[in-house]
Chain A
């Protein structure tokens, strides 16, 4: 059969962010694929070197429009380690609370995108409607729905009073009911399973060799989660399950992410119930002593890594950001091989790409 090469992107209807694919097809089947990123490369690692540590908190928050808080968490905890600061427990709990709220927001947004791509518009509408609850919670706590500006070097900027705790708990109850409903529909909807099972498969070997992280790795049977394996912020105080699955396809990724949101709701409740008293931030000097640090955290898409080196000034000598999407991108040619053309959007949305993160 003749091979045809089809260029898709960088602007295309499958994803809202720019990425370009060259798909070689035989009939409806993909035999080869290549991708190109960099269309939203902003040269941020150079910009970091020209901004103070404090200014950079706001720059790293803008790397991603979904996991903005994960970026400031990894960055701030790195700078705090260089400064040798002890972060007050209340600050760590509030930081963790936002991390988990953001995970719920990210996973529900993703579920909507996947549902839209497989033609399941009802779940798309429901997931995005329900995501409003968590956006409202984050707005009420921080003033921002997407960029929360919660983290500062040394702790957090926001506090919550008892009234906010009660309101948030009530909203979490509502959110949990909605997620249970979504879960019920997803589990029993045969069309969704037909569109996602055995699509975009990655074996645990492929996951390991490509250094894949986060829900995509866990859906292929990799039992890894930094929140449990290398606890940071207040995760050592929390009781939660790390969700894994064996199938390694888009269906498994769906189940892992949705079940993770249920865990996250539970973690938010634990944090709010046992919020320690005390200050919100430790005083931090603007100049950072010479040294280097590797800071990791579990962003909604997996391990996020920051390397920061200070030469003693008020600006970092080097900040390196490695976002979880970068490694998942490297697996796409494996995932797309042999896939039907109509399943391309399912594969792409299944891995939860964040191109802005990957490009920086």
Chain B
């Protein structure tokens, strides 16, 4: 994977967005994008660079927002970072391009209450079918 070429391509596609590339251990580059650019950015990765190995999707409630990290890997790591508002955490699914994202998105959805628009099977993955509580990884002090 040539990270510089990918960054160049993303800069061209999203010329108005500051990508803020950040080197993260271990051998990983983080790029920040607004949520409505993620689908298009992944399309660039898949179609232009054949980068299809999505290692994981990490979701985190930082208190002010829900952060989603899409960890790609092909010799080196590349992570797309985006943040969603806590009240209406919603983003387009990647499952149309990367079927392997199905379980990652279901997990992020139930654990953090993120809606993935267009997901083919948006049911709980790990939580019980009748789970009625808050998404468990949402910050507790904010729940009241």
Contacts and interface: CB of A to CB of B under 8 A. Distances in A.
What DSSP secondary structure best describes chain A's contact surface? mixed
A327 B137 contact: no
B26 A327 contact: no
A294 B24 contact: yes
Contact of A330 (B24, B102, B136, B137): B102
Contacts of B137: 45-46
Contact of A359 (B75, B79, B101, B126): B126
A295 interface: yes
Interface stretch (A75-83, A109-117, A338-346): A75-83
B90 interface: no
Interface in B31-54: 52-54
A121 B44 CA distance: 50
A171 interface: no
Nearest to B72: A211
A307 to B, nearest CB: 5
B73 A327 contact: no
Contacts, number: 93
A38 B24 contact: no
A203 B6 CA distance: 28
A327 B53 CA distance: 11
> Looking at B25, B28, B30, which has the most chain A CB atoms within 10 Å of its CB?
B25
Nearest to B56: A322
Contacts of A229: 75
> Looking at A38, A293, A317, which has the most chain B CB atoms within 10 Å of its CB?
A38
Interface residues of A, number: 38
A81 B128 contact: no
B119 to A, nearest CB: 13
B27 interface: yes
A322 B107 CA distance: 11
Contacts of B101: 211
Nearest to B101: A211
Contacts of A81: 25-26
Interface residues of B, number: 36
A330 B95 CA distance: 12
B55 A322 contact: yes
A320 B52 contact: no
Nearest to B28: A294
Given A208-B52, A359-B126, A320 B58 contact: yes
B99 interface: yes
B77 interface: yes
B100 A209 contact: yes
A82 B137 CA distance: 23
Contacts of A59: none
A232 interface: yes
A320 B75 contact: no
A94 B59 CA distance: 34
B105 to A, nearest CB: 11
Contacts of B52: 208-209, 211
15 contacts: A37-B125, A38-B124, A41-B126, A45-B137, A209-B52, A211-B53, A212-B100, A230-B76, A232-B26, A293-B25, A296-B55, A296-B77, A305-B71, A309-B60, A318-B58
